[in-house]
Structure 1
Amino acid sequence: MPYLESLRVFVRVVDLGSITAGGRDLRMSPAVASNRIKDLETRFGVRLLNRTTRKLVPTEIGRAFYDSARRVIELLDEAEAVVSGFSGTPHGTIRVTAPLGLGRRLIAPLVPRFCAEYPGVEVRLRLSDRNVDIVADGIDLAFFLGEPKDSALKWRRIADCRRALVAAPSYLATHGTPEAPHDLAQHNCLLLRYPRSPEYYWLLQSKDGPIKMMVNGRFDADDGDVLTDWALAGQGIANRPRYEVAEHLASGALVELLPQFAPIPAQFGMLTPHRRLQDPKLRLFADFAARETRGIFQTGA
C-alpha cells in the first residue's frame, strides 16, 4: 500500500505541477508528499523530477514513469469501482469542479447531503471561473455553463440557465436606462474575463434571431459574484444568471433591463471523462446533482 500511495502522490504532483499542490489534493503535508517522491526515487535509483525555483518538471525517465503510473492508478480506480458496484456500497473519492457562483450556491450545499447518504464517498470540490483542463487535472465531474467543445468528454445536459441584464436603480438614475441593445455601447458593462479570454460579446435574443453585441467596460473580474456586487453598488450593467440575482430583482436592489432582448440561456450540465462513466459512485453523484439542481432552473428563479 505505501508503494501505491507513493504512485498516487507522484501522479498528482506531476498533474498539478508542485509537491505542495499534489499533497494538498491528497490531504497530506508537503513534507509527507516530498518523502513519497523520494521513496520512489530511492526505490528505482533515478531522479524522477527536476526541481526548479518555479515548478517541478518530470525528467525524461520521470515522464515515461508518469505515463505508466497514471495507467496503473486508473486501472486500480476502475477495479475498485467494479467491486463497489457489486457490493452496493460505493466508496472512494470524487473530484468535482464548478464555476464559482454556481458552485457556492448550488453544488456546495449538495456535498454534505450526498456524503451523509453515502458515507464511504469523499467529495473534493474545486471552484473556479477559469477554464479547467478536466483530464490533465484529474477531474471526475465538471459542472459547466455554456457550449462544451471537448469531444473526449461525455456531456450530460441538465437544464437551460436563463440570464438577465441587470443594474441598480442608482446607476440608471445617473446614466439612463438602455432602450435597445445598441444602447449598451454607451454604458459601463461589467465583464467576466480571465487570462487569455476571447473577444467579449453578449449574445441577446430577439424576434429576428440572436444579436451579437460587442460590449465594453472600465473594469472586469474573473469572479461572477464580484460583477453582481459591482452592479448592486451602482457601477454598471451585468449579464448574470437569473437564479443568482433573483433575490435582488425581487427586492428592487437590481432592475432587469431589455427583457425582450434577454441574453440567450446557457446550457447547464456536467462533463465527465469517458473512462469514468462506469464508476457507481460517480453515477450516483451525477444523478443526485442533476435531480437536485434541475428544479432550481425550471422554477424560473
Structure 2
Amino acid sequence: MSYLESLRVFVRVVELGSITAGGRDLRLSPAVASNRIKDLENRYGVRLLNRTTRKLTPTEIGRAFYDHARRVIETLDEAEALVSGFSGRPQGVIRLTAPLGLGRRLIAPLIPAFCAANPGVDIRLRLSDRSVNIVEDAIDLAFFLGEPEDSALKWRRIAPCPRVLVAAPAYLEAAGTPAHPDDLASHNCLLLRYPRSPEYYWTLQTPEGPRKMMVQGRFDTDDGDVLTHWALEGHGIANRPAYEVSADIEAGRLVRVLPDHPPLPSQFGCLTPHRRLQDPKVRLFADYAMRELKPLF
C-alpha cells in the first residue's frame, strides 16, 4: 500500500474514531488498517494515536498531522476530480448518506444503474435516521427530509414530500379515532427519536395555519421503518412520509388519521459541502438522482 493510501487510512480512522470503522470505510480489515497506522508512526518515530479499550484519539502531534494529511487528501481528490472532469470519465468514490427508509426505497435502487454507466465510480451508501455531521464524516452527498440548518452546505431541493398520520384499524377501534388535533393528547403517538434529538412535536395544517402539537407515546425509536411496523401491529399513531405507507393505506392495513389536518410536508433534497459539488462525479450523481426521483413525488 502506498504512502498516500496510508494517509487515507489515518485520516478516516481519526474522523470515525475507530480503526475498525476507518478500515471498514476503506474496505480494509482492522488488522490491515492498524498496520497502516503503525507504518506511519514507525516512519516518523512518533505516536499519532492514543489507544484505549474504549476510545481512540489523536495525540497532540497526531491532531496536527491529521490537519495536514486531510489537506493533502483533499488536494489530491480535487486534482483527480479536475482530471476526470476534462476526460469525461468520472473516477473515484462517492460517499452517500440517507435516512433508513428513504435510502432503502429510493436511493439504493438508483446505484446499480449509475455505477453501470460510470464504471470508474464506486458508491459507499450509509443509511441512518440519526443526524450526521456531513463535513466531519466526509460525506459527499446527503439525502435529507426536512429543512437544513447549516448554511455552510449546499441545499438542492428535489420535491415536497407529503406526510400522513396513520394507524391500524384495530388500534382505532380500541382507542377511538381522533376527530380534532387536540385528541392526539389521549393517544399513543409513535415517535422517531434519537439521542440529543430536539423536543418532539408534530406540526399539523389547520385552517388557522400550521399548528405545533406536542405529542407523546409510550415508546420511540430511531428507525422510521420500526414506527411503520408498530403502527401496522396496532400500537399507535405514526407520522410517516406518504410514499412509505401508501401501499398499506391502499390495502386497508393502515388508515389515515385526521386527513383534514395533515402534517406539514417535509422538504426532500440533498445536501453537500460546496467544495464537493465541484467534483464532476458528485454533481453527476446529484443531477441523476434529482432527475429520477422528482417524478416519484
Q: Shared topology, TM-score over 0.5? A: yes
User: Partner of 2:59 in structure 1?
Assistant: 59
Q: Structure 1 residue 196: deviation in Å?
A: 1.1
Looking at structure 1, the residues matched to 273 and 52 of structure 2 have their Cα atoms a distance apart, in angstroms, of: 32
Alignment of 1:107-186 (within 5 A): 107-186=107-186
Q: Structure 1 residue 106: deviation in Å?
A: 0.3
User: Partner of 2:71 in structure 1?
Assistant: 71
Percent same amino acid at aligned positions?
Answer: 77
Q: Structure 1 residue 291: deviation in Å?
A: 1.0
User: Partner of 2:10 in structure 1?
Assistant: 10
1:85 correspondence with 2:82: no
User: Partner of 2:213 in structure 1?
Assistant: 213
SS of the residue corresponding to residue 36 of structure 1 reads: helix
Q: Deviations over 1:66-124 (max 9, x none)?
A: 00000000000000000000000001000000000000000011111110111110000
Looking at structure 2, the residues matched to 266 and 35 of structure 1 have their Cα atoms a distance apart, in angstroms, of: 45
Looking at structure 1, the residues matched to 198 and 12 of structure 2 have their Cα atoms a distance apart, in angstroms, of: 30
Looking at structure 2, the residues matched to 165 and 20 of structure 1 have their Cα atoms a distance apart, in angstroms, of: 40
1:283 correspondence with 2:268: no
Q: Structure 1 residue 257: deviation in Å?
A: 1.0
Looking at structure 2, the residues matched to 291 and 179 of structure 1 have their Cα atoms a distance apart, in angstroms, of: 39
Alignment of 1:287-298 (within 5 A): 287-297=287-297
SS of the residue corresponding to residue 160 of structure 2 reads: strand
SS of the residue corresponding to residue 205 of structure 1 reads: strand
Looking at structure 1, the residues matched to 242 and 294 of structure 2 have their Cα atoms a distance apart, in angstroms, of: 14
Q: Which runs of 5+ in 2 are unaligned?
A: none
Looking at structure 1, the residues matched to 172 and 204 of structure 2 have their Cα atoms a distance apart, in angstroms, of: 20
Alignment of 1:254-293 (within 5 A): 254-293=254-293
AA aligned to 2:125 is L
Q: Structure 1 residue 151: deviation in Å?
A: 1.2
Looking at structure 2, the residues matched to 220 and 21 of structure 1 have their Cα atoms a distance apart, in angstroms, of: 27
Q: Deviations over 1:150-205 (max 9, x none)?
A: 11111111000100000000001111100000000010000000011111100000
Looking at structure 2, the residues matched to 8 and 150 of structure 1 have their Cα atoms a distance apart, in angstroms, of: 26
Looking at structure 1, the residues matched to 107 and 148 of structure 2 have their Cα atoms a distance apart, in angstroms, of: 19
4+ runs deviating over 3 angstroms: none
Looking at structure 2, the residues matched to 97 and 130 of structure 1 have their Cα atoms a distance apart, in angstroms, of: 11
AA aligned to 1:153 is L
SS of the residue corresponding to residue 65 of structure 2 reads: helix
Give the total of aligned pairs.
297
Q: Deviations over 1:213-234 (max 9, x none)?
A: 1101011111000000000001
RMSD over aligned Cα, in angstroms? 0.7
AA aligned to 2:256 is E
Looking at structure 2, the residues matched to 175 and 233 of structure 1 have their Cα atoms a distance apart, in angstroms, of: 14
AA aligned to 1:103 is G
Looking at structure 2, the residues matched to 204 and 198 of structure 1 have their Cα atoms a distance apart, in angstroms, of: 18
Q: Structure 1 residue 292: deviation in Å?
A: 1.0
SS of the residue corresponding to residue 209 of structure 2 reads: coil
Moved more, 288-297 or 94-103: 288-297
- TM-score, normalised via structure 1 length: 0.98
Looking at structure 2, the residues matched to 257 and 49 of structure 1 have their Cα atoms a distance apart, in angstroms, of: 53
Moved more, 73-82 or 47-56: 47-56
AA aligned to 2:173 is A
